[in-house]
Structure 1
Amino acid sequence: MKLQSAVIASILFAAVPVFSAVASPASSSAKAGIDWQKDNNVDAAFARAKAGNKPLFLYWGAAWCPPCNQVKATIFNRQDFIERSRHFVPVYLDGDSPSAQKLGARFKVRGYPTMILFKPDGTEITRLPGEVDSERYLQVLTLAMNTTNSVQDILKSALAGGKNLKAEEWSLLADYSWDDPEQKLVDVKDVAATLLRLSDLAPTGHDATRIYLKALVAIANVKPGQTAPAFDKAVAADKLQKALADQAVARDNMDLFTNYPADLTELTTTAKSDARAKLMAAFNSALLKLADDSSLSKTDRLTAVDGLVALARQENPKGTLDANLLKDVKTRVAQIDQATTDAYERQSVISTAAHALSNAGLLDDSDALLKAELKRSHSPYYFMLSLASNAKKRGDKTAAVNWYEQAYKAAKGPATRLQWGSTYVSGLIELAPQEEGRIEKATQSVLAEIGGTENAFYERNRASLERMGKKLNEWNKDGKHKVALQKVRTQLDGICNKLPANDPQKAACQGVLTEAKS
């Protein structure tokens, strides 16, 4: 069972991590902010952690990333988090900084943000969730800093029966970042079955409920070709009903309920059934309360609004939604937009708001919000991709491609530029495949940047380039663009040939345009 909030609060503000005997800093020191190490010398940071017998906290993010900006606005600026940071070595890895993508491959971090807590000896303790509210995040961090076991060890004990596990250890399992595709606890294909088994083994309480809900989310998102574990749909629907009806439980699991209402409803009920109608009503009621909950961040409240839209879309995929819902969405977006002044928070709020408006079919309102933000945002190129998506929804292929191009031209940072460039090429191929010259020019531009980028074939870079390569091969499947593609291959070969034979990047480079075997 989860610790009572009063107990957690006492741990958060009073406990000294087992790794460190350093006393709490004076208030004047605490106000100085987090002493991030940003030089990418991670080995030196681990040496410091070991010498000081402190855990190491690794943050992996990017300037444009909305969830990263949400973390900065709601967690990293909290005084209690700043004070807690005195007891660990904080390392900030920006995905666009030198060697960051290579370090990303080393630590198995790809999605932004990823936050990992390590023991002083470098053993990974846990991957912290990025979607929960700040209070819960601090609770998880505190428990992780005070545990003597890694989540890997806790999982082994839990699957063996978990008789000797403490309540805090079940909490760490419940709040582990299971949706991280790079997590190392179990194979991705086994996540759903593992969570389902853990939910049966966990002591009755909030942790068992949260683990079960995460199991349902994992089942709902099983990839094609993978087998989902068997579960009782009627039982699942009943458990969802009870969790949604309990305001404390719904608040405790708001990240799951706001992000996956349609997925969970689709998974556990049949279309047009009484069970579907009953569950949708429960979701709508819970989501409205979450949208009104001022203790949640503005982004979380807007995510609840987007959840309401997703539920409505489930019954009405392409038509116009209820006028009252549309009015409510517009009103809530306008209120939160006006109330949000922090630059970090706006990057997250506007992204979520624009997405909700777009899903509701309010494309003009979404565009207006995004275009206004281009002048204010520190990373406007992110919102240009959303404008491209809106144009694509309208069927305006020309506008969509032009927004993809503008986003690429405006993008900053080597990893971001490669990602945005490959997105532009992919967008061109999808929406304007006849524009061979433009596709060739765009691809050559991306490859030219690769040639000047250190460690260009690691982690997010590699994944983006492989997706682009796959699109290019599909574009030329009938051989009509053979000459253009050969020019691109020749350019890429020149880059690959410059890499040393023993460089692991060489194989990745050569694989970018390798045609799939039939």
Structure 2
Amino acid sequence: MIRRASLQRPLRLSLLAAALTLSLASVPSLMPSAMAASAASSVSWQSASADADIERAFAQARSEKKPVLLYWGAKWCPPCNQLKATLFNRADFIEQSRAFVAVHIDGDNPGAQRLGARFKVRGYPTMILFNTDGQELTRLPGEADAPQVMRVLQIGLAGGRPVKTVLADAQAGRKLSASEWKLLGFYSWETDEQQLVPIAQRPALLAKLATASQGVDEETASRLWLKALAITEDGKGLKPDAALRARVDRLLADAEASRAQMDVLGNYAEDIARALAPTPGAERQALVAKLDVALKRFEADATLSRADRLQALIARVDLARLDAPKTELQPKLNPTLLTEVKAAAAKSDKEITDGYERQSVITSAAHLLGRAGLWNESDALLKSSLTKSHSPYYLMSQLGGNARKQGKKDEALRWYEEAFNKSEGPATRLQWGSNYLAALVELAPQDAARIEKAASQLLLEAEKDKGAFYERSARSLQKVGSQLVAWNAGGQHDASLGRLRTQLDAVCAKQDSGDKAACEGLLKKKG
């Protein structure tokens, strides 16, 4: 169970971050045993960095009458690493991969961010299944457990219709097959990027689909109701009634039914609780207790991955903090729960040897310790794991975040700077650098020399990266520009901004005509 990766919000984590170099020979010490097998027993991924690579893959798909599975990820991304540790190395996935053309886009490959713009993919990981005509059959739910993902993949491979067509028929009240309802229920709405529906309309759409699927596929109906509740944002979406509350109660009491919704309940327990019981009180306490029982079952379920079981514990801590201020550093938690948190983190650290699983689970364990107020333990776990990680800069960013939350400004900046310095790959360096610059502007706005130096380095990075003004890289640079303009709001840093604008002009002069406007607008005052 994995949510999209984010430096600001480690795994609870957007719903919803590991470049799959499918020879994998570059990191043999980190290879899971199943992935270290010969090429004949692994997925034949084709790396794509340009449109020509994509066209070649689709030409092969048409020739062989196969769909295309596109996987978009990054080396550092904990959820991507979780996919490698639990899905991509499964014998049934490897066997099933012979039925599709497997395409991998590493977000740090040259040209990758341009491809990201083409396919409307942002969050790592994103998996899209296409038919031979290039139409999206579905976006696969990376946060679901591997067997569930396999079932959805098999539905898509069985010659299904594009998800956009299926959704249009569902909205029009036309009859759908059970498989098509399942496709909608398990569609990765978290990585939709508004391809099917604008974000603001999503709760109402999911509720409408949930109502329509009732009596046809109850498991799908429950999933859609839970998804709708998860994105209501404290009452600003779906308005639950007594019937829906009763439905959720029945679901939580049913071990088999709740197990089928494990990924939604684990990732969104706090959001679901807020939606169903918006105000503190007896009703909320009763709901939290029922959620806690279900989550405990997930923790004890040996059929779930270690990441899924840990996610259930994270959700329990989030529920225990529900009525506390979100910024509370030392929440008052039950001593038994604290003991469980420490034991789970220690067990993960001791037992995990696979590099992919460590990148996913240890980052989550450190996040869990912090959520429980165990900051020293969180820091110790991250520091001891730096040499065991193939992407230690991700852990360094977490250390920076820990220090920042605790008001340790100098320590936070040291970790953010080191994370930027150690980061690898053009898109990743721009993202880590923009986070470092944002921390500097927030925590040390008086240090003009340091801020200008960091910004200048990022402009050098952009100059070398031909995909700098696309997707994730473009957003990183926009963040840099807005931070610098805000930093100079009173004109006190005009000299620094003047030098940076001169440097930026030289960068923009080298851009293609389509990218120049985005480049030239970076340091302009808004409004």
Select the residue among 126, 143, 159 that pairs with 1:131: 143
Aligned to 2:47: 38
Q: State whether residues 141 and 186 of structure 2, in contact with CA within 8 Å, keep that contact through their aligned partners in structure 1.
A: yes
Kindly indicate whether residue 61 of structure 2 is the aligned counterpart of residue 49 of structure 1: yes
CA–CA distance in structure 2, aligned partners of residues 451 and 30 of structure 1: 37
Q: State whether residues 231 and 237 of structure 2, in contact with CA within 8 Å, keep that contact through their aligned partners in structure 1.
A: no
CA–CA distance in structure 2, aligned partners of residues 333 and 188 of structure 1: 35
Report how many aligned residue pairs link the two structures. Answer: 482
CA–CA distance in structure 2, aligned partners of residues 128 and 68 of structure 1: 13
Shift of residue 181, structure 1, vs aligned partner: 4.9
- Name the SS of the counterpart of 1:90 in structure 2: strand
The range that moved more, 53-62 or 187-196, is: 187-196
- Name the SS of the counterpart of 2:105 in structure 1: strand
CA–CA distance in structure 2, aligned partners of residues 44 and 313 of structure 1: 51
Cα 1:287–1:173, aligned 2, differ >3 Å: closer, same or farther? same
Kindly indicate whether residue 214 of structure 2 is the aligned counterpart of residue 203 of structure 1: yes
Identity %: 47
Correspondence list, 1:269-308, <5 A: 269-308=277-316
Select the residue among 178, 186, 192 that pairs with 2:197: 186
Shift of residue 293, structure 1, vs aligned partner: 1.1
Residue type at the aligned position of 1:515: K
Unpaired stretches in structure 1, ≥5 consecutive residues: 1-27, 223-227
- Name the SS of the counterpart of 1:77 in structure 2: coil
Select the residue among 267, 270, 275 that pairs with 1:262: 270
Shift of residue 464, structure 1, vs aligned partner: 1.0
Shift of residue 203, structure 1, vs aligned partner: 3.2
Correspondence list, 1:356-505, <5 A: 356-500=368-512, 503-505=513-515
Per-residue deviation, residues 423-460 of structure 1 (Å, max 9, x unmatched) = 11011001111111100000000101111111211110
CA–CA distance in structure 2, aligned partners of residues 431 and 90 of structure 1: 44
Per-residue deviation, residues 310-331 of structure 1 (Å, max 9, x unmatched) = 0111133423322211111111
CA–CA distance in structure 2, aligned partners of residues 314 and 262 of structure 1: 7
CA–CA distance in structure 2, aligned partners of residues 219 and 277 of structure 1: 19
Shift of residue 30, structure 1, vs aligned partner: 8.7
- Name the SS of the counterpart of 2:388 in structure 1: coil
Per-residue deviation, residues 101-146 of structure 1 (Å, max 9, x unmatched) = 1011101111100000000111111111110000000000000111
Correspondence list, 1:314-329, <5 A: 314-317=322-325, 318=328, 319-329=331-341
CA–CA distance in structure 1, aligned partners of residues 39 and 287 of structure 2: 47
CA–CA distance in structure 2, aligned partners of residues 515 and 297 of structure 1: 49
Kindly indicate whether residue 96 of structure 2 is the aligned counterpart of residue 91 of structure 1: no
CA–CA distance in structure 1, aligned partners of residues 46 and 313 of structure 2: 37
Correspondence list, 1:139-178, <5 A: 139-163=151-175, 165-178=176-189
Aligned to 1:245: 253
CA–CA distance in structure 2, aligned partners of residues 398 and 438 of structure 1: 13
CA–CA distance in structure 2, aligned partners of residues 481 and 396 of structure 1: 25
Residue type at the aligned position of 1:170: W
Aligned to 2:12: none
CA–CA distance in structure 2, aligned partners of residues 116 and 253 of structure 1: 22
- Name the SS of the counterpart of 1:260 in structure 2: helix
Aligned to 2:4: none
Query: Which protein has greater RCO, CA pairs closer than 8 Å, 6+ apart?
Result: 2
So what's the TM-score if we normalise by structure 1? 0.90
The range that moved more, 504-513 or 414-423, is: 504-513
Shift of residue 230, structure 1, vs aligned partner: 4.7
Residue type at the aligned position of 1:417: R
Residue type at the aligned position of 1:32: S
Q: State whether residues 403 and 411 of structure 2, in contact with CA within 8 Å, keep that contact through their aligned partners in structure 1.
A: yes
CA–CA distance in structure 1, aligned partners of residues 410 and 38 of structure 2: 54
- Name the SS of the counterpart of 2:452 in structure 1: helix
- Name the SS of the counterpart of 1:179 in structure 2: helix
Shift of residue 272, structure 1, vs aligned partner: 3.1
Q: State whether residues 162 and 202 of structure 1, in contact with CA within 8 Å, keep that contact through their aligned partners in structure 2.
A: no
Shift of residue 489, structure 1, vs aligned partner: 1.6
Shift of residue 497, structure 1, vs aligned partner: 1.9
So what's the TM-score if we normalise by structure 2? 0.89
Aligned to 2:6: none
Aligned to 2:117: 105
CA–CA distance in structure 2, aligned partners of residues 442 and 457 of structure 1: 19
Cα 1:84–1:238, aligned 2, differ >3 Å: closer, same or farther? same
Aligned to 2:9: none
Q: State whether residues 240 and 275 of structure 2, in contact with CA within 8 Å, keep that contact through their aligned partners in structure 1.
A: no
Aligned to 2:524: 514
Shift of residue 511, structure 1, vs aligned partner: 2.2
Q: State whether residues 152 and 185 of structure 1, in contact with CA within 8 Å, keep that contact through their aligned partners in structure 2.
A: yes
CA–CA distance in structure 1, aligned partners of residues 222 and 434 of structure 2: 41
